[in-house]
Amino acid sequence: MSAVAIVGVSKSFGSVPVLDDVSLEIRDGSTVSLLGPSGSGKSTLLRIVAGLERADAGSVVIDGVDVTSRPAHERGVGVVFQDQALFPHLAVGGNVAYGLRMAGVTRGARARRVAEVLSAVGLPGYEGRDPATLSGGEAQRVALARALAPSPRVVLLDEPLAALDQLLRERLLLELRSIFDSLGVTVVAVTHDPTEAGALGQQVAVLLDGRIAQVDDPGEVLARPASAAVAGLVGHRNVAEGVVSADGHLSCAWGRFSLDDAPVVGQVAVLVRPDGVTPADDGSLTGNVTGRVFRGGSAFAVVEGESWPALDMRADPAWRVGDAVRLSIDPSAVHVMAR
């Protein structure tokens, strides 16, 4: 069952279109990352689901109920913003209890629920803490606890970790995913970071230029992006143009490859995954190492030939910039997609 169904949503600000006929279904109890660059419309879409913006066209359905015309406070949605927006004049407990108090929940029931959600986010006993004394990660978890306290049907996260440093962000990613899994809550998380999208979401919905470009599990989006634009967004560098012939052969600047199942015939974009490029004494590509970088604790090299565009690949530890090398491409690492 879908907890959230976004159906044909469009939105413009003045003469500038931001969302164009966006449809997306989010299963009950699942976490979906809404991935897109700045200006793609992802935060606007989140605000429309929350009831903080009105769509020009389309509808939002939550738990089978059309809430398009309902105000934000009647949608059963919790929202966590990038800056946490904690009330500085309230202790942690007061912040978490705020929505419950507005809903008329009794003092005793509020206290029990606050203790429950603070424990769920890994902050038991924090009720009396001053928000000013919290670390960035603690403040973000308090904001999450405040959103969870009224038992919303859906929790919306708008760039929840963007303001945190890298090490804290990586640690909190694992914590948040564990919290969501244990609570079984439905979550939509907006981010521009592919790593964050993959770590948080059981599915990733890619939003480009106001339209959904791909919806799939994180591994599929990374390994088999739907287009050159999606490939660039998730960090692939080995992208070029190519042509697929009627007999199922792909020709591109890096060579000619036989495709087991050619999706189209004609002009295409070609992705070569870095793990499919390897040094080989008898390799068909001869080039020079033009750069070395470290990503995720591994060394990568950029190798460029005179007649073919640069390839990003795992580096041989002995390579140095300027070295001449020969390369081979594993055909199974070649992916054909839309231009």
pLDDT in tens, 253-302: 999 998 877 678 899 999 999 999 999 999 999 999 999 988 777 889 99
Contact status, residue 286 vs residue 332, Cβ threshold 8 Å: no
Q: Given the DSSP bridges, would you call strands 154-158 and 77-80 parallel, antiparallel or unpaired? A: parallel
Contact status, residue 154 vs residue 188, Cβ threshold 8 Å: yes
Q: Would the pLDDT of 339 be above 90?
A: no
**How far is it, in rounded angstroms, from Cα 337 to Cα 271?**
8
Lookup: tokens for 84: 């946490």
pLDDT attached to residue 160: 78
**How far is it, in rounded angstroms, from Cα 230 to Cα 226?**
6
Helix, coil or strand: residue 217: coil
**How far is it, in rounded angstroms, from Cα 22 to Cα 16?**
16
Mean pLDDT of the chain: 91
Q: Any idea which residue has 């079984």 for tokens? A: 184
With bands split at pLDDT 50, 70 and 90, how would you rate the model's confidence at 31?
Answer: very high
Lookup: tokens for 35: 């991935």
- 52, burial (CB in 10 Å: exposed 0-12, middle 13-18, buried 19+): middle
* Predicted TM-score (pTM) of this structure: 0.89
Q: Would the pLDDT of 34 be above 90?
A: yes
What single letter denotes the amino acid at residue 245? S
What single letter denotes the amino acid at residue 286? T
Give the CB-side neighbour count of residue 179, counting CA atoms within 13 A.
Answer: 23
**How far is it, in rounded angstroms, from Cα 278 to Cα 123?**
47
pLDDT in tens, 152-198: 889 999 987 776 777 777 777 888 888 888 888 899 999 999 989 99
With bands split at pLDDT 50, 70 and 90, how would you rate the model's confidence at 1?
Answer: low
Lookup: tokens for 87: 């009330």
pLDDT attached to residue 103: 87
pLDDT in tens, 195-237: 899 999 999 999 999 999 999 999 999 999 999 999 999 999 9
pLDDT attached to residue 238: 96
Distance of CA 7 to the CA centre of its chain: 20
Query: What is the domain class of 2-232 according to CATH?
Result: alpha beta
pLDDT attached to residue 329: 96
Lookup: tokens for 105: 């929940």
pLDDT in tens, 38-59: 889 999 999 999 999 999 999 9
Outline which parts of the chain fall under CATH 3.40.50.300. 2-232
pLDDT in tens, 55-71: 999 999 999 999 999 99
Q: Given the DSSP bridges, would you call strands 211-216 and 203-208 parallel, antiparallel or unpaired? A: antiparallel
pLDDT attached to residue 288: 96
Lookup: tokens for 86: 């904690």
Lookup: tokens for 199: 């770590």
**How far is it, in rounded angstroms, from Cα 190 to Cα 26?**
14
The average pLDDT across 314-333 equals: 93
Lookup: tokens for 45: 């879409």
With bands split at pLDDT 50, 70 and 90, how would you rate the model's confidence at 84?
Answer: low
